[in-house]
Structure 1
Amino acid sequence: MDSSGGKIVILTALLLEYRAVRGRLEDLQRLDHEAGTIFEHGWIPGTSWEVYITQVGQGNQSAAIMTERAIRMIDPEAVFFTGIAGRLKHDLALGDVVVATRVFAYHGGKQEESFKARPETWQASHRLEQTARYVARDPQWAAQQQPSGQDEPEVHFKPIAAGEVLVNASTSALHDLLDEHYNGVAAIETEGAGFSGAASMADQVPALVIRGISDRADGSKQHTDSGGFQQVAANNAAAMTIAVIKALAPSRTVKTGGSAGQDTGKLGLLGAAAPASAHLEEPLPVAWRRKLLPSWSSEGATLEVHLVPEYSLRLPVRQMSQLKEWLVSVGRKEEVFTPSEAVAGALEADFVAAFARDQRRGSVGLAISQSGQRSCWEPLPSPSRIHIPVLDPEHTKERVTGLLRLLLRLQDVPQTRYAPALAIDPAEILTVTSLESAANSNSASLARVGRSGPVQIVPQELWDAADISAAAPTIAEELTLRLMLHFRNPGDSQHF
C-alpha cells in the first residue's frame, strides 16, 4: 500500500517527451494558468501522487519561466525535468538514462587570451537523487515501468551540461570547451540550467533532471533520430521519472504537543499525512445497481462502485431532470461510453442514470440518486481467448481507484463525507486470476462458478469528500481485499 502522496510537476521540452510521460498517467484533466499555459494533471496508477505536466519548448529561458510559473501555481512537493539528451561520454549507450547529479550552465565565462570558465552549477536534490539510486539498484525497475520485450537501460548518475546550442559534431570549439572545463559531464541538453536555477530560487524546491540518451552528439543525429532512438530515450527517461516518484517515501515523522514520542504520521518534505477515515457502527444503506435498473438477461459479471453520502442531500427534481442529459454528455467525455455507442437515459423519482448495454461489451453506466449517492459500473474484462469475465485483483484495484475519482467529477462535491461501496453483480460465472494468466490459459481450465447472486461490499468507513481523491488507492485496495475474501483462487484453497 502506498502511503505517500502529494503534487509533483514534470516538465518536458518536446512533444514526444510529453507524450512519454502523459501515457503513464490516468484520469487526466486540463488546468489553465492565467497567463495561458496549459497543464494537464492526473495520477500515477496505484498511488496517491498527483502529477502536473506541461511542454515548455526548447531553451533554458523558456524552461526557467515555466518552472517558476508551475511552482507558484501548483506549490508542488518536487519538480522534475525529463526528456532526451546527447551523450558526451562513450561509456553511455543510446537509450541509457542519465540522472543529473549536477547541472552546469556552461556558457558563463570570461574571454581573455584564453577562455576562463565561470559556470553556474546546481546540485540535484539529495532526497530525489537518493531515491533515484534506490530505484536503479532494483534490477526489476525497468520491467515494472516499460513494455515487455523492451531492453532495460543502464542508469548513470553523472553531471550534465545545459546551454543554448544543439551539438551535433564530433569536433568543434564547443567540444573542446566542454572537454577542457567540464570533463566529467556525461550529456548535453538545452533546458536543465533554466529549470534548475528557477527551482533553486523558489525556496529550494526539490528538483531533478532525468534524461535519456538519444544521440551521440557527433554528427550522426539524423541517423539515430531516423532509427527511433529519440522515442526510446524519451520513454526510458519517463519510465525512470515515474519510478522515482513512486518510490518517494516520508522524509521524517513530526512530533506534536501530544504524548511524548507520539508520531503524527506527517510526511516531511514529500507528501502529507494520510487522510483519516471514520468507522461506521452500522453500514449506510446503498441503492445498489440492481435496485436502480432492472437486470439484463445477457449481462456478465459487472463491477459497480458507489459513494454514499453521510447525510441525504435531497436533490430537487428540477436538478435531477437537468442531470439526465448531462450524465450522457459527461459519460462520453470521460470515455465511460464510446462516441458511437447508443446511450439511454433514465429519470425516476429517486435517481437519474445514463447507461449502455451491448451484447459484446456488457453494461456500463453512471447514476446519481436523489439522496446524493453517486454510482458507476462497468463489465469485468473478458479476454477473447476464454470469453469468461476475469476478476484480477490488481486490475480491480486500479479500476476502483479510477472509478472513485470519476464519481467525484460527476458533480460539484458537497462538503460532506462519503462512504465507498463495491459490488460484483452478477457474480455466478467468472474466474479469479490475473488477466495475463487468463490470456494464456485454456477456457476449460479457467471456467468456474462464483457465488450465487451479487457480492456486495457494504460501506463501513466515511471519508471527507476532499480526501477521497488523494486516498483513492488506499480505499480501492481495502475494498478489493474485502471483495477477494468472497472468492477463492482457482486451484488453491487459500483466500486472497
Structure 2
Amino acid sequence: MRSSSGKIVVFTALPLEYRAVRARVLDLQRIDHEAGTIFERGRIGSDWEVYLAQVGQGNQGAAILTERAIRMIGPDAVFFTGIAGGMKHDMALGDVVVATRVFAYHGGKQEDTFKTRPEMWPASHRLEQAARFAVLDPHWAQALLPAGRDAPEVHFKPIAAGEVVVNAQASTLQELLDEHYNGVAAIETEGAGFVGAASMADQVPALVIRGISDRADGSKQHTDDGGFQLIAADNAAALTIAVIKALPSPGAVEAELPSSRSDTVDTPRITSALFGQQLKEPLSVAWRRKLLPLGSSDSATMEVHLLSEDSLRLPMRQMNQLKDNLVSLGRSEAFFTATEEVSSVLEADFAAAYVRDPRHSRSVGLVITRSGQRSCWESLPRSSSLHIPVLDPEHTQERVADLLRLLLRFHDVPRTRFAPAMAIDPAEILTVMSLDAARVSNSAVLARSGRGGPVQILPDEVWDAATIGAAVPTIAEELSLRLMHHFRSPHDLQQF
C-alpha cells in the first residue's frame, strides 16, 4: 500500500476558482516546477500540506499538469474544483456536484449515425466517502462560506467532460448529451483529463467537485452577470476544503494495518472489515427468479443482494416513492442507459425497476423489498466470437464491488446491519475465462458441464453499512472467490 505523504493537490481551471480555494488555505508559499508550473503550498488544519495550481481550460492541460504534480509532489489525493454547467432542472444555481463518475463524452465512431464510445472513471471511493461524511453535518459550510450564505445543496452524481463549453438549448451536441448521457448532472472541460491522468499515475485517489454556475442552455451570459460564477466557485471550494478536513489524518490508515509480526492481536478495525459476524443460519433471500420470473431468453445473469438483519417493514407509501427513485438512481449511476426504456413495478412485497432486452441479451434491474432487502442484477458480458456469456474472475470482482456500492446508495436505514449474497442464474450456459482471451478465442469450455440450476452464495455473515462501504473491495473479493469455487470444473467438460 502507498505510504502517506500528508500532501494533497487541488487544481482549478479559472482564476476565480483558484482565488476561491486560495482564500481558505493558510501560510501560502510559492513553489516553482522546473518546467515552469507555479504551485502554491499551504496548509489546511494541522494535518494536511496542500498544493494549489491553475491548469487553464481543457482536458489536455489538466492531464499534463496532474501527471506533473503527482510526479513532483507524490500526494495522497488530488482534487479538481471549480464551476460547471448544470444539466438537471431540479438543481439550483450554486448547488455543488460531487462527481461519482466522470464521462469523456467525445469518444465515438461516426457512421450513418454517431455511435458513442465514452471512457469513464469512477470517483475514488475513499474521497467520495469523505465527501458524504462531510455533508452529514448540517453546519459543514458555516465557517467556510461568507456570513449569511446558506450551505448549498450537494449532489452525488456523474458529470461529463469534453472540449466544448455548452451554452445552447438546442444543438447537435446537446442532442448527443440528452440521448446518451441523460444521467449526468453537470458538464465541464477538465475532469476527464484530470481523473484519467490520476488513474494512470499509480491509481492516485481523485475527486472532481463542481459548483453549478449556469444551466448550459444559452443563459450563461445572464447567470454570469448575476454573479453565479463566483458563488458556484466559492461553494465548490468550501466543500473541497470540508472534504479534505474529513479525511483521516495522514498515517492513520497505515496505523490501522496489522504488523507483519505473527503475534499482532490488536487489529479490531481490520478484523471487522475482513470478518463479518457469522449467523447461525443464512438469512432468507428473495432471489431474482422469485421476484421477477426469468424469461425464456434470459442468459447467465449475476445478481447481488444486501439483506437487512433487522425485521423491517417499509410502508407502502415509502415503497411507491422508492419505485420512482430506483429508476432515477439507475440512470444517474449509468446502470440504465439514457436511451433504454425502463420498466417499473410495485407489488405487495417489493418495488423494482428493470430492463429486459432479448435482442442484446441484456437484463438489468434494481429491487427493494418491504423487508429492506436491496438487490440488483446484470447480464454477464458476452464474447462477440463465442456468442455465450463469459464469467471473467477479475471483471466479476470489479462488478460485484460496483454493485455493492450501488446498493449502499438506495436509501438510508439507520443502525442496521446487512448480509451480502450473490448468484449466477441461469448458470448452465457460460464459460469461465478472461474477457480479453474470449475476444480472440474460437472455442471455450462450457462451465459446470452444462448442469442446470443457479449458483448461489448465501447471506451468512453481517456487517454494518459503514464497514461494508469501507471494505467493499475486500467483501467483493470474498464473494467472488466463493462464487468461482463453484465453477472449478472437472476435466471432462463439454467443449463449445
TM-score, normalised to structure 2, is 0.52
Partner of 2:477: 477
Partner of 1:351: 350
* Aligned length in residues: 304
Partner of 1:291: 290
Which runs of structure 2 are paired with 1:38-77 in the superposition (5 Å)? 60-61=39-40, 64=42, 68=44
Partner of 1:431: 431
Distance 1:6 1:233 in 2: 21
- The answer to whether the Cα contact below 8 Å between 2:393 and 2:434 also exists between their aligned partners in 1 is yes
Letter of the structure 1 residue corresponding to residue 469 of structure 2: S
- The answer to whether the Cα contact below 8 Å between 1:413 and 1:465 also exists between their aligned partners in 2 is no
Q: 1:436 to 1:312 in 2, by over 3 A?
A: same
Partner of 1:263: 265
- The answer to whether the Cα contact below 8 Å between 1:390 and 1:430 also exists between their aligned partners in 2 is yes
Give the CA deviation at 1:244: 9.6
Distance 1:488 1:80 in 2: 50
* SS of residue in 2 equivalent to 1:329: helix
Which runs of structure 2 are paired with 1:383-422 in the superposition (5 Å)? 383-422=383-422
- The answer to whether the Cα contact below 8 Å between 1:97 and 1:237 also exists between their aligned partners in 2 is no
Q: 1:492 to 1:404 in 2, by over 3 A?
A: farther
- The answer to whether the Cα contact below 8 Å between 1:80 and 1:241 also exists between their aligned partners in 2 is no
Letter of the structure 1 residue corresponding to residue 335 of structure 2: V
**Deviations for 1:24-57, whole angstroms, at most 9, x for unmatched residues?**
xxxxxxxxxxx899xxxxxxxxxxxxxxxxxxxx
Distance 1:362 1:5 in 2: 42
Distance 1:244 1:322 in 2: 35
> Are 1:312 and 2:273 an aligned pair?
no
Letter of the structure 1 residue corresponding to residue 267 of structure 2: G
Letter of the structure 2 residue corresponding to residue 474 of structure 1: T
> Are 1:250 and 2:254 an aligned pair?
yes
> Are 1:459 and 2:459 an aligned pair?
yes
**Deviations for 1:69-114, whole angstroms, at most 9, x for unmatched residues?**
xx79xx88x9788999xxxxxxxxx99978767x7xxxxxxxxxxx
Partner of 1:239: 200
Give the CA deviation at 1:376: 0.3
- The answer to whether the Cα contact below 8 Å between 2:39 and 2:52 also exists between their aligned partners in 1 is no
* SS of residue in 2 equivalent to 1:331: helix
Give the CA deviation at 1:287: 0.5
Partner of 1:366: 366
Distance 1:491 1:277 in 2: 35
* SS of residue in 2 equivalent to 1:469: helix
Distance 2:4 2:313 in 1: 34
Give the CA deviation at 1:404: 0.6
* RMSD, aligned α-carbons: 4.5
Letter of the structure 2 residue corresponding to residue 425 of structure 1: D
- The answer to whether the Cα contact below 8 Å between 1:282 and 1:460 also exists between their aligned partners in 2 is yes
**Gaps in structure 2 of 5+ consecutive residues:** 14-19, 23-36, 56-64, 78-191, 207-250
TM-score, normalised to structure 1, is 0.52
Which runs of structure 2 are paired with 1:102-141 in the superposition (5 Å)? none
Distance 2:264 2:486 in 1: 37
Give the CA deviation at 1:322: 1.5
Give the CA deviation at 1:263: 2.6
Partner of 1:333: 332
* SS of residue in 2 equivalent to 1:400: helix
Letter of the structure 2 residue corresponding to residue 11 of structure 1: V
- The answer to whether the Cα contact below 8 Å between 1:82 and 1:241 also exists between their aligned partners in 2 is no
- The answer to whether the Cα contact below 8 Å between 1:388 and 1:447 also exists between their aligned partners in 2 is no
Which runs of structure 2 are paired with 1:206-245 in the superposition (5 Å)? 238-242=199-203
Runs (4 or more) in structure 1 with deviation over 4 Å come to: 4-10, 78-84, 94-101, 231-238, 251-255, 446-449, 489-493
Q: 1:346 to 1:6 in 2, by over 3 A?
A: farther
Give the CA deviation at 1:335: 1.1
- The answer to whether the Cα contact below 8 Å between 1:432 and 1:488 also exists between their aligned partners in 2 is no
- The answer to whether the Cα contact below 8 Å between 2:353 and 2:366 also exists between their aligned partners in 1 is yes
